[in-house]
Structure 1
Amino acid sequence: MLKKTLAFALGLGLMSGAAYAQSAWTGGDDLPTNPLACDGTPAAVASKPYDGGSPTNAPDRKGKPLNVVDVPKLIGIGYFNATSKGIADAAAELGNVTAKTDGPTQANIDQQISFIDNYITSGVDGILFAANDPVAIAPVLKKALAAGINVVGYDANSQPDARQWFVNQAEFNGIAKAMIDSLAKESGEDASFAIVTSTFTTPNQARWIAEMGAYAAKCHPNLKWLETVEAQEDNVLSFNQATTLINKYGDELKGILGMTSVATPASAEAVTQAGKCGSIAVVGLATPNAMKPYVEKDCVKSVVLWNPVDLGYAAMYVLRAVADGTLEPGATSVKAGKLGELQVINGSEILLGAPFVFTKENIGNFDF
């Protein structure tokens, strides 16, 4: 039987935010969840009406040069360096797009809002973003739409009506299944685990955590979720938080799930320095280059991710399609250069694809 406390806390993602705040396993949102089948049977994609926003009096940009700014959660880390490269690659391939990446050096929503606001004032044709907070970022994105600017999100969504489209790297329940299945395989079906995330309000991570809880309750009911801690996508804080978890729970802790490309390698380093490789599994979302040292030393068995270069590349192609009018509400797919046709899901989201699991056998084939 699933531990009663876990079942209570998860509530299959239907509990209120207040209930999460009163428990140790904070970090998930309170939206309904849709856990995938335990045997991997694909879920049917439900058709939903377009729920994105629309720019006001946008000029005719079809085939015309575009000036685009990309404002991710923060700059200067490997993950967003990779998405930025994808955006730049797509812009060069399209040939009529000038794109730059700019943003805060910390995952700070207030600073991110200021950067976007400044670019609205200075004037751009399009804004790409990865939100630090889905609600807080919405007003400035709506301001951009009101100014006739095309707005497309990727990696971390805003409220849907604050942007036109969102490029989803993988469906949230797909990430959840890959993470929890890997944890159970490596740590055992009755393992106790903890999570290191960035913040409890970061939209994609909150969604993943909620879906992970629902999937664990359905398919791995004897897993015990100890705690979720925030680390602000900071390397030192992530290491310290993982170390605190190791010291706090001792031999009870059998797994750490890293929800960011910073938290996962930092957690692996904490496990390494604690001499716990082999007794504490580290499973998480990270770039392969950051995890190669730990995978090669067998301290980490699996890393879950997608190709962030492809994610940025797809986002740039989506923005170009929106500006050209070839991607409109009601579309079921969009052409994205070398990636081919990408499917529209959930009304106004573009799906990059299924998550990928990097292991010792394949991680050397990737360089980002």
Structure 2
Amino acid sequence: MTNRQLSALCGAFLAGSLLVAGTNVVLVRSALRAPPSAGRVPVVAVMPRIKGDPYFASCRGGAEEAARELGIELIWEGPIGPDSTEQIQIVETWITRRVDAIAVAAADQAGISPVLRKARAHGIPVVAWDSDAEPDARDLFVNPANSRETGQILAGRAACLLHGHGEFAILTGASNSAGQWIAGKYPELKLASIQSSGDDRDRAFLETQAILRVRPGVKLIVALSPPAVPGAAEAVLQSGRQDVKVIGLSWNTRDLGYLTVQAATLLARHRLAADADSLPAGRLGNRDVCGGEIVLGPPLVPLSGNLRSSH
């Protein structure tokens, strides 16, 4: 997840509910390009944010499942770290190759968007997934979870674990300005620190160690990025602090990869109208499309309570 998502998510968490102000979004498809000719197998290129990360390895399993079902060629390529420069270079090669659709989990929303606009200008439909690009740089965004719903779930869980009062810290997935809200629904919850995990387990481990050292009053770590959850959990376990709890969000990563390829293939085959309000997604059934966004489903809260008993 990137800056805009995490800002909304943190706001929802801290307030217990989030009022989202925005404008109507008009879904504009990439420049018209003929669908793959009869008999030619469509090529869908999918990029994870970090190629070797277990999170994205699970997504790949779902992507490959969808590719087999749909009879397409799947390219899976990405950087070994969250490197927007390498992501840009990979997309450039896909444009040159003239693949039929591109799906990217952006490491840097602003950084990747110009080359995605270039792909669309060349008639290649673009799907952002897991972490969004700028809206005019993609046709669809496959969002793992609704930020408002996730924020409300985590806020309620945090209030329960802290019995309505106490200090907590947030680990985001990317550097951002989130967290400037005041806890309205739970005013006795005090936000002590917001740190970025960079969507990296090892960094989450180090940031959690620093939080526990500098903010000893913190009793709860809220991880807003799935890779941050195990990193934060391990740091708390190694600290011996049985009074500190961790909660974090996750979702079905295999389904995320599956849905991404389903959506990208529909675009590649020109089988999704610009004004479509739903799309067929194989074994996941129909999924709503709203403002160019498809939400995978409700989030999971994988860890809660004392980690020594739930790890």
**TM bucket normalised to smaller:** 0.7 to 0.9
Contact 1:35 1:218 in 2 (8 A): no
Residue 283 to residue 65, structure 1, CA distance change in 2 (3 Å): same
Letter aligned with residue 226 of structure 1? A
The match for 2:200 is 234
1:343 matched to 2:288? The reply is: yes
Equivalent-residue separation in structure 2 for 1:165 and 1:191 (angstroms): 40
Equivalent-residue separation in structure 2 for 1:233 and 1:35 (angstroms): 19
Q: Secondary structure at the match of 1:265?
A: helix
Q: Deviations over 1:270-303 (max 9, x none)?
A: 10011113x111111xxxxxxxxxxxxxxxxxxx
Equivalent-residue separation in structure 2 for 1:254 and 1:32 (angstroms): 18
Letter aligned with residue 260 of structure 2? A
The match for 1:165 is 140
Q: Secondary structure at the match of 2:183?
A: helix
The match for 2:62 is 86
Within the candidate set 291, 300, 309, 1:356 is matched to: 300
Identify unmatched segments of 5+ residues in structure 1.
1-16, 18-26, 285-303, 361-368
For residue 138 of structure 1, report the CA deviation from its aligned partner.
Answer: 0.8
Q: Deviations over 1:196-252 (max 9, x none)?
A: 223215xxxx7xx56xx76x73322221111112233333322111111101111x1
Contact 1:332 1:344 in 2 (8 A): yes
After TM superposition, list the pairs within 5 Å mapping 1:168-207 onto structure 2: 168-201=143-176
Residue 357 to residue 338, structure 1, CA distance change in 2 (3 Å): same
For residue 54 of structure 1, report the CA deviation from its aligned partner.
Answer: 2.8
For residue 128 of structure 1, report the CA deviation from its aligned partner.
Answer: 0.8
1:328 matched to 2:266? The reply is: no
For residue 29 of structure 1, report the CA deviation from its aligned partner.
Answer: 3.8
Equivalent-residue separation in structure 1 for 2:37 and 2:223 (angstroms): 42
Letter aligned with residue 64 of structure 2? A
After TM superposition, list the pairs within 5 Å mapping 1:245-256 onto structure 2: 245-250=211-216, 252-256=217-221
Equivalent-residue separation in structure 2 for 1:85 and 1:121 (angstroms): 27
Letter aligned with residue 350 of structure 1? I
Equivalent-residue separation in structure 2 for 1:148 and 1:165 (angstroms): 15
Residue 32 to residue 48, structure 1, CA distance change in 2 (3 Å): farther
**TM superposition score normalised by structure 2:** 0.86
For residue 338 of structure 1, report the CA deviation from its aligned partner.
Answer: 0.5
Q: Secondary structure at the match of 1:247?
A: helix
After TM superposition, list the pairs within 5 Å mapping 1:31-70 onto structure 2: 48-51=24-27, 53-61=28-36, 64-70=40-46
Residue 186 to residue 268, structure 1, CA distance change in 2 (3 Å): same
The match for 1:315 is 260
Residue 86 to residue 231, structure 1, CA distance change in 2 (3 Å): same
Equivalent-residue separation in structure 2 for 1:174 and 1:68 (angstroms): 31
Contact 1:62 1:324 in 2 (8 A): no
Equivalent-residue separation in structure 2 for 1:176 and 1:246 (angstroms): 23
Q: Deviations over 1:168-208 (max 9, x none)?
A: 1111111111222222211232121112223215xxxx7xx
Q: Secondary structure at the match of 1:217?
A: coil
Equivalent-residue separation in structure 2 for 1:117 and 1:55 (angstroms): 16
For residue 49 of structure 1, report the CA deviation from its aligned partner.
Answer: 4.4
Equivalent-residue separation in structure 2 for 1:193 and 1:311 (angstroms): 29
Q: How many residues align?
A: 299
1:272 matched to 2:216? The reply is: no
After TM superposition, list the pairs within 5 Å mapping 1:141-156 onto structure 2: 141-156=116-131
The match for 1:125 is 100
Equivalent-residue separation in structure 1 for 2:95 and 2:83 (angstroms): 19
Q: Deviations over 1:306-353 (max 9, x none)?
A: 2111111111111121222221222111110000010112x1111222
For residue 56 of structure 1, report the CA deviation from its aligned partner.
Answer: 2.3
For residue 355 of structure 1, report the CA deviation from its aligned partner.
Answer: 1.4
Equivalent-residue separation in structure 1 for 2:7 and 2:205 (angstroms): 24
Residue 31 to residue 143, structure 1, CA distance change in 2 (3 Å): farther
Contact 1:198 1:231 in 2 (8 A): yes
Contact 2:50 2:56 in 1 (8 A): yes
For residue 30 of structure 1, report the CA deviation from its aligned partner.
Answer: 8.2
Letter aligned with residue 296 of structure 2? L
**TM superposition score normalised by structure 1:** 0.73
Q: Secondary structure at the match of 1:81?
A: helix
Equivalent-residue separation in structure 2 for 1:31 and 1:181 (angstroms): 14
Identity %: 31
